Structure 1
Amino acid sequence: MKKIIVPVDFSEHSEYALQTAASIAKKQNSEIIVVHMLELSNAIITQKQSYAMEEAAFYLKLAEKKFQDFLNQEFLSDLTVTPIIKHYKIFSELNDLAKEEGADLIVMGSQGASGLKEIFIGSNTEKVVRNSSVPVLVTKGKAVVSDLKNAVFGCDFSDDDIVPYQNAKNLLKKLNCNLQLLHINTPYGKFKTTKEMKEKVAKFLTKANESELTFKDVAYVSDYTVENGILEYAHDQDIDLIVLATHGRKGLAHFFEGSISEDIANHSDIPVLTFKI
């Protein structure tokens, strides 16, 4: 893992994300790229009036000063940290930056169970997840500094989930984190009999080159909603990380309907890692 991007707004939750990234970077010998999205309109930046130019310069200098103070952290010692200031608060730009830098991971902070706010107002975290072609790790209200030991990948075992699962497994292998597959059976819409589940799981495992795994190696939960099933299982099994596949701009997670995936990210107090389908 060469580079990790951390978008920050200098809040305590962005500090948690930065501390999480630092913990990973020290184990992977990675560079951290810290990005602040400076909300300056195009009018302010391009206007020739002296007051507009002075205002833009003021905010840039203020951001630079905040960066100096924010990055003066003991946990960043012995790490290569590159600060970057973007002039627009367009969060899809993070994906462009990730591509330019060849980043392997984006780490973001959120408030956790009370919703994705505090560090990014509104649904900006979701915008990053939907636009990102690299994995996004969302920390939930505190820094992740201990080793991630057990992760669960919730999916519907469709062909679309194969590549995200393989990518998740490869990334988590670098972190020495075990990844388990989880099937949620609900009484609505996509309910499956045991026979149907076995057949679908068997096909998935074969296509994913997981011939050593069998039906019994996959976890199964029955619940009224996918969200409740994943969250209950994660807590019952002391899971350190929830992994989801995302469908880009069409919304989070191929097998989720409506806003269920957003609800998982919003309500989970466990870190969430997303991979784009």
Structure 2
Amino acid sequence: MTFKRVIVGIDGSRASNIAKEYAFIIGKHFDIPVVGMHIVDVRLLNESFLEDLAGALGFTYYLGISQRVREFLEERANALIEGFLSEGRQKGVKVSSFQTVGVPHEELVSQADPYDLLVVGRKGQRPVKGFFLSSTADTVSRRSKCPVLLVPEEERSIKNLLVAYDGREVSKKAISVGRVVANAFGASMRALYVGEEEIEAPQDLELVRLYGLPEEKIVSYCRQEGVDMLLMGAYSKGRLREFFMGSVTSFVVHHLDIPILLVK
């Protein structure tokens, strides 16, 4: 498989800047468009929120302050997008941008098609310390129709990929996506199976077999073996299925500080 586009969230945070670099590498290697998205969070423009914020931080609130806040955020957005476009063009990447006002996770998900790749920083820029409205990366990874690459704040060279594999269709798709990503980064790849069943190894790929709790073994193996990026199936659809199966994804995402590509 190949991606149609790479869509990367731009918010000026360290994680977002690293996500942008990974998006450029993949986009340039496959000669596909890289779209930089910046969303001014509409919730920050709510007068009630701003009034509460003013009281908490001790500055003077006045009716209509939301317009001043919007102007400031849009000026900042313009600067971020211009920087993204300039850097991408200098690297020879096909870049474009999309800028709007809305709820970040909703806009990111709505703009992505099933054959796109969404790249988002795992710790985005908070508007004000202590006033974290939601986790954009977590919500995007659950609701997206396409694969999502979650990027932490620590920059690293991607040379060692691992696919969490159990023989099911989503893990087979993760193998296909992994081959694409490994090709872009010039990285090696292997698969890891945690369980007692006998499963067939993916074609032309080393399969490591371990016993124990899948989520714990995946995390410990990545740490011990210096894995640079993990690929695995994303959250299951439905609350009951996610309670039993999605818990592995949740545990791994919250205990590993490496890029994680979640495949649908």
**TM bracket (short chain):** 0.7 to 0.9
| Aligned partners of 2:191 and 2:207 also within 8 Å | yes
Percent of aligned positions that are identical = 21
2:170 aligned with 1:182, yes or no? no
2:210 aligned with 1:221, yes or no? yes
User: Which AA in structure 1 matches 2:111?
Assistant: L
CA distance in 1, matches of 2:228, 2:189: 10
Report the equivalent of 1:108: 120
CA distance in 2, matches of 1:173, 1:58: 40
Secondary structure of 2:227 counterpart:
coil
Report the equivalent of 1:189: none
Instruction: State the 1:57 CA deviation.
Output: 4.8
**Greater shift after overlay, 63-72 or 238-247?**
63-72
Alignment of 1:108-257 (within 5 A): 108-110=120-122, 117-119=123-125, 121=132, 122-144=134-156, 146=157, 148-162=158-172, 164-172=173-181, 174-175=183-184, 176-185=186-195, 192=196, 197-198=197-198, 201-202=199-200, 210=202, 212=203, 217-223=206-212, 225-250=213-238, 257=245
Instruction: State the 1:264 CA deviation.
Output: 1.3
CA distance in 2, matches of 1:256, 1:151: 26
Aligned residues: 239
Secondary structure of 2:102 counterpart:
coil
**Deviation by residue 1:161-189 (Cα, 9 ceiling, x = unmatched):** 44x2353245236435443221224xxxx
Instruction: Choose which of 32, 35, 42 in structure 2 pairs with 1:33.
Output: 35
Instruction: State the 1:259 CA deviation.
Output: 3.7
Secondary structure of 2:81 counterpart:
helix
CA separation of 1:149 and 1:54: change in aligned 2, threshold 3 A: closer
| Alignment RMSD | 3.6
| TM score, norm. by length of structure 2 | 0.73
Instruction: Choose which of 82, 89, 94 in structure 1 pairs with 2:103.
Output: 89
Report the equivalent of 1:188: none
User: Which AA in structure 2 matches 1:95?
Assistant: V
**Deviation by residue 1:82-137 (Cα, 9 ceiling, x = unmatched):** 221121114133232122xx763111122xxxxxx344754321211111122111
Report the equivalent of 2:55: none
| Aligned partners of 2:5 and 2:116 also within 8 Å | yes
User: Which AA in structure 1 matches 2:231?
Assistant: V
| Aligned partners of 2:171 and 2:232 also within 8 Å | no
CA separation of 1:119 and 1:275: change in aligned 2, threshold 3 A: farther
| Aligned partners of 1:133 and 1:275 also within 8 Å | no
CA distance in 2, matches of 1:236, 1:52: 49
Instruction: State the 1:12 CA deviation.
Output: 1.7
CA distance in 2, matches of 1:25, 1:74: 10
Unpaired runs of 5+ in structure 2?
A: 47-62, 127-131
Instruction: State the 1:159 CA deviation.
Output: 4.7
